[in-house]
Structure 1
């Protein structure tokens, strides 16, 4: 605990006497609005970029600067130091913020977040090795779940491709309809969807919002999660330096109009759009190929689950198809990019088919 020595306090909190005085005062809303706030000159001093130099800001005071997800790292260290959290949800909103409203900024922001989270899972602050003597096992596992959440990209990429490729080649992966184990797979899948739907509905959401969250979850999993993991690994081995790119939260009139119309603005980086197009192309081609095989060979019952998975992914990601085929506004998917990705994906599918026949 810090004492009352002014020199020590300035080493921690900086040179502002008014700010240090405020640390011991019990401010209320009346005093804050009645003229007891910091003087204007002190406010400019506190807001300057040089104020924190030679202080403990970012190390022991305020948010920690060792990560691009400073909120996670600060909370983790506070819990390691013995602090506890209290859930506070007042009826009156306490903060006013702005969020990204177009796809490109959402995915850029997500990549930065997931890179920072995974980076904390592979550095000295890994909750599995840093926190054993500082917090309970269950709490450490909760923090670990956050840091390793970006690894979700790998099972989802498998979910979006392997059953479909096996469907194309007539390889059943799941129990056929009528098999006792078929009910187990149906129960797990449906219960997961219903659990998410319940969470959306009890928080005031709608069925439409639930579908949007499913869609964004898929988009982020094959883009942000993957790129975040790669970015963290590259920084870990020294190939890439850490950086912080703020996302734009100011939308122009056209972006605002698309947002209000519930339309995705696909004027995003090609590294985000390409994986989405590749996945939807694989699912459509394999679904149609599976239908052809089932019509002439049979085995609908053996392939039903794989048909359903491909159909589910196509249905949820209908806005991608709409942005490619139907929409004519500026927010549609680039035709040139789409043609390149679709042709490359179909060539790879053809090569995979030839190799499987050898």
Structure 2
């Protein structure tokens, strides 16, 4: 730990808030309050619809108050990796977890690049171990990792010798990378050799992907013969073991894990896979810290582990650092971010604010966890009590090896098998599908079950136990992943309309100022309005279906389904893709997720047409729609412009006819009933 007299490992610095930003935020809050007061004063004259509006706007106001609380406490952390070796005589070990679930949707070459980038980070190799969880139980994944381990024997020393920054080969050898001008003698020759070896690796994997029969299912891959990915025993393979314990340039341990699955037992999706990796690593290497990344999130900063250790070891009390979270960043994003994947505004505003409170939320990837925290211990547990709890089989299960390793973790004793192969039997036991029965795994120990978003539940549980988390945003970013590339002069009759217009305009100008201040384009801001975390399109598609699915789960009607996101595979023809005129266009299918948004578009189009032509329903009087209603309809149509284009698109860029018919029927039904409901007239 860093003392007051020693060089610091990290520093926590409050950030100044722009005066204009504070003024805007207070003005928006004042307008929200005025709007609520107006609703309350006129509630008795407008009935139930007015009450619904008041409740909705009360939620928006409450949400804005929470936003202010977060954004008014921003801090940043500075790390000093150069001081780490001076302050810490022996660096702690780190177990690195990579998760993949489908070899088709997540091509093995993507997983391979992520693994290679982790194996080559600037950290003592004998202190690292990489575990790859293959929930798809694919022989292609094992074969690809086996071949990658051979390439790593050359790649890791090459990266450390020449201090390569980006150590994922597909990024380093991409057309955008440039060779340094001051190449040392022999560098170009070795660089050419590395590129040739990587191309050979890619070719081997591609051949295996195209023809699975090339694998020897009677030899090394006999465990995969006639295997059912939903019903199979545990398969654990020690692909590479770093027996040169004191070598810094060697290749870290590499272990393949396919946990046991049975069709009659729940496997709890990614949370279950993470708990298996925690137990398997616990009986094999038992590092005090763990890193987990998705298969498409490669290490972009070669010193990211050193940065994380500075934060985890740099505070006097370990409660300050239950986990270190690196934000998700993406490479090769489309111009102006048409799908709102980059989340730049939250990263610049909300995340530093979270860091100034109890810390950022757990994002599910790019996170360094303290093992004892994952084991479920709180800050109030005494050291003696911890040892007693560790011996409780109800907590960890009936594996003697796991209980012993947990005891060592709590006492901070470094102990692990000298031969990983000798721990495979114990690892198979703790990876069994029935091991968690009658234990606290998934509730009080490990990643929390109950949701496909295991990250949110797990992070909240950790914070609820009193732990804090730390935001790590080094330059360059620690990890990079692939983002999906496939969606007042007017006089009015209602003086109170000024509140609605003012809130709307202030919110627009508020977010626009941030984007322009960060050097981003107006088009990118507009894409954020449509597709960002609080965007209009996600609200009535993904978020709506998420709420409905959760309601069905709580009612016991159905279980939440977990779907693997298809990853874009890197290829040498990526330059052609950049010139694709369809890049950034929305793609559609017959999924019901597109019905609500299409229906909403039809409703506002119909309302806009009726307003323009004076076709006001009789129940609403003869005044016709006001300017405010017309502008709202125009705004909604603009927000759902991709769906409007989809009505006239062809192929996958067009909305299927069944979706159009369903949406049109729902829109007509909605307009029919709304036309018969008498609403309060404007006075």
TM normalised by structure 2 equals: 0.34
1:60 to 444, 468, 478: 444
Report the alpha carbon displacement of residue 322 of structure 1 after superposing the two structures with TM: 0.7
Report the alpha carbon displacement of residue 265 of structure 1 after superposing the two structures with TM: 0.9
Q: Which has the higher strand share?
A: 2
Are 2:609 and 1:225 equivalent residues in the alignment?
Answer: no
> Who is 1:33 aligned against?
none
Q: 1:22 to 1:84 in 2, by over 3 A?
A: closer
> Who is 1:237 aligned against?
555
Q: CA RMSD in A?
A: 4.3
> Who is 2:610 aligned against?
289
Task: Output the CA distance in 1 between the equivalents of 2:538 and 2:424.
Answer: 40
**Structure 2 regions of 5+ residues with no counterpart?**
1-380
Report the alpha carbon displacement of residue 316 of structure 1 after superposing the two structures with TM: 1.8
Superposition pairs of residues 176-325 of structure 1, within 5 angstroms = 177=492, 180-202=495-517, 205-216=520-531, 217-238=535-556, 240-251=557-568, 261-267=583-589, 269=591, 271-293=592-614, 303-325=626-648
Task: Output the CA distance in 1 between the equivalents of 2:435 and 2:661.
Answer: 51
Conserved? CA contact 2:586–2:642, under 8 Å: yes
2:613 is paired with a residue whose SS is: helix
Report the alpha carbon displacement of residue 190 of structure 1 after superposing the two structures with TM: 0.6
TM normalised by structure 1 equals: 0.60
Q: 1:241 to 1:350 in 2, by over 3 A?
A: closer
Report the alpha carbon displacement of residue 285 of structure 1 after superposing the two structures with TM: 1.2
Number of aligned residue pairs:
272
Superposition pairs of residues 111-190 of structure 1, within 5 angstroms = 177=492, 180-190=495-505
> Who is 1:346 aligned against?
668
Report the alpha carbon displacement of residue 341 of structure 1 after superposing the two structures with TM: 2.5
Per-residue Cα deviation, 1:204-258 (whole angstroms, up to 9, x for no partner): 64322222222232222223333333332332232x24334133223489xx968
Conserved? CA contact 2:599–2:663, under 8 Å: yes
**Structure 1 regions of 5+ residues with no counterpart?**
28-35, 104-174
1:86 is paired with a residue whose SS is: strand
Report the alpha carbon displacement of residue 321 of structure 1 after superposing the two structures with TM: 0.9
Task: Output the CA distance in 1 between the equivalents of 2:419 and 2:456.
Answer: 29
Conserved? CA contact 2:452–2:562, under 8 Å: no
Per-residue Cα deviation, 1:164-221 (whole angstroms, up to 9, x for no partner): xxxxxxxxxxx95386534332211111122233344455643222222222322222
Per-residue Cα deviation, 1:32-72 (whole angstroms, up to 9, x for no partner): xxxx9993665793794549636543233322123333222
1:293 is paired with a residue whose SS is: coil
Task: Output the CA distance in 1 between the equivalents of 2:419 and 2:604.
Answer: 60
Q: 1:252 to 1:211 in 2, by over 3 A?
A: same
Report the alpha carbon displacement of residue 259 of structure 1 after superposing the two structures with TM: 10
Superposition pairs of residues 74-93 of structure 1, within 5 angstroms = 74-93=458-477
Q: 1:286 to 1:38 in 2, by over 3 A?
A: farther
Task: Output the CA distance in 2 between the equivalents of 1:97 and 1:37.
Answer: 35
> Who is 2:75 aligned against?
none
Report the alpha carbon displacement of residue 75 of structure 1 after superposing the two structures with TM: 2.3
1:261 is paired with a residue whose SS is: coil
1:330 is paired with a residue whose SS is: helix
Q: 1:250 to 1:43 in 2, by over 3 A?
A: farther
Q: Which has the higher helix share?
A: 1
Q: 1:338 to 1:67 in 2, by over 3 A?
A: closer
Higher alpha-carbon Rg: 2
Compare 308-317 and 327-336 and name the one that shifted more.
327-336
Q: 1:79 to 1:283 in 2, by over 3 A?
A: same
